[in-house]
Structure 1
Amino acid sequence: ILISCMGKYKYVERTLIAIGLLELAFIPAALFAKPDYGALMQSFVGSQPLNDNSYWLLIAANVGAVIMPWMIFYQQGAVVDKRLSEEVIKYSRIDTFIGSIVTQLVMVGALVVTAATIARTNPNTSLENVNQIANALTPFLGSMGGKMIFALGMTGAALQSAIVIALAVSWASGEVLNVRCSLNSSWKEAPVFYAFYNGAIIVSGLLVLAGIPLISLTIGVEIMNSLLLPLVLGFLLALGWKVLPERYKLQKWEKIILLFIYVLVCSLGIFTVIQLFR
């Protein structure tokens, strides 16, 4: 909430970058876990539990975690608030590309840490909250160093997610209601925007304090994200296909790739719904 008092988008962006750097702690944590690299490579090409419905639900959740619908609203709002001009679109795309690579490396690091420790020695351990995960990792990463690295990574991920999602909600809601929605505006100038932002933060905090199973909630939310993706991607395809100026419209090879991704995501969403009601 204090971050929203900075009064300028650039200060919030710099704060988010600093917080996001904490997530890089998952990469050295993966090395500390001493994974079996042979088994790690085998997991990519080996047999998969395709007959297990839970496996497919986790696949859907993973898709929803990687390509989140609200990311579109956040990026659009950030571009406007940062006042980017047409001349820097190329650099914005490069920025997005690099960011997508780094975030996936962080995700791989977190998965390797868990697979190389808990999943290998005690796969039936209850992991319903962050504290249980940290305690389960302690014997492998060390009581002090391991917990510290894990805590830094989780703190960075949690803070950045809370701020980014709250901003996405605020920007999208402000545009729908046609009211001022900018971090460059004061609380007095954009009361609705800041009300949505702080409301999202407070509600999220109350959910955590309520003691609900956060891991299950997270998986459920990511599955919901994957189900909403076809709608959001459909509008983006239509935008790039018909609406944008000619020089920015999708090229033929881009259309082929995006259509393939769209069909894949839609198919996975439909399959997930079928699994939920079986």
Structure 2
Amino acid sequence: MGEQNGRRIIGGRTFDFSRQVAVMAIVNRTPDSFHDRGSTFALEKALDAVSAAVDAGADWIDVGGVPFAPGPEVSAAEELDRVLPVVTAAKQHAVVSVDTFRPEVAREVIRAGAGVINDTSGLRDPAMADAVAGTDAQLVITHSLAPPRTPWPRPQYDDVTAEVAGFLRARVEVALSRGVRPEQLIIDPGHDLNKNTYQSLEVTRRLDEIAAVGYPMLAAVSNKDFIGETLNAAQHDRLAGTIATVVYCVLHGARIVRVHDVRAVVDAVRMTEAILGWREPVYTRHNIE
């Protein structure tokens, strides 16, 4: 069992995951992103999105320069050109994570002030662990069957939740063996990444089993296809389903949630924290005055 939920310093900020949930806003500098469809590809638009997310209560900004889904090749140099200006601008206002699977990109963005490397490849290149070892950065290890940018039609599992948990345990061991400290690790079951809707629903339903791997857990569920297919909801009509999924994930162990609609999810998460007794109301007047 690895590092349990507890106090961590991430990007110079303290989080107590025993009683706190971090809300991670998504800012993609890509022309072909899954949800934004390039709306924050232009640098000025990306920086505006950072400011809006911080104003809406985001704790983290997750910056991406290359989508997970298949698409045109993006070189490491181009990826860095996309993400570094956002890292530099955002690090003064929030924790900055960079969604990348390239160790050379990870090294550069950590030097620039990124507090988290969000590796959607699940350490397929073990050199990613080397890039994070010896730094103060956190490393998110995400489950998928295929490398990023690679099609994987009709994914099959005998027991999807057990297999996701087993994969994460194995990749955690790789990270530890290469010098990453337990208190640097975060896990992500990878909702919808090489998973169909039934599989993503089952992983969510049994999320306690993923949390039992023993590290703070990230749930990246915002507006995903398993929500859309479950509700017959178009891409931009999935907020209610997203909020329901986020709250369920928090109640079953998620301590970081990655979202597009920051203000609404911040309210849902803070209300959940208050119901759990983790957070005081901002003010109390009803039946008191």
TM-score normalised by L of structure 2: 0.24
**Larger RCO (alpha carbons 8 Å, 6+ apart):** 1
TM-score normalised by L of structure 1: 0.25
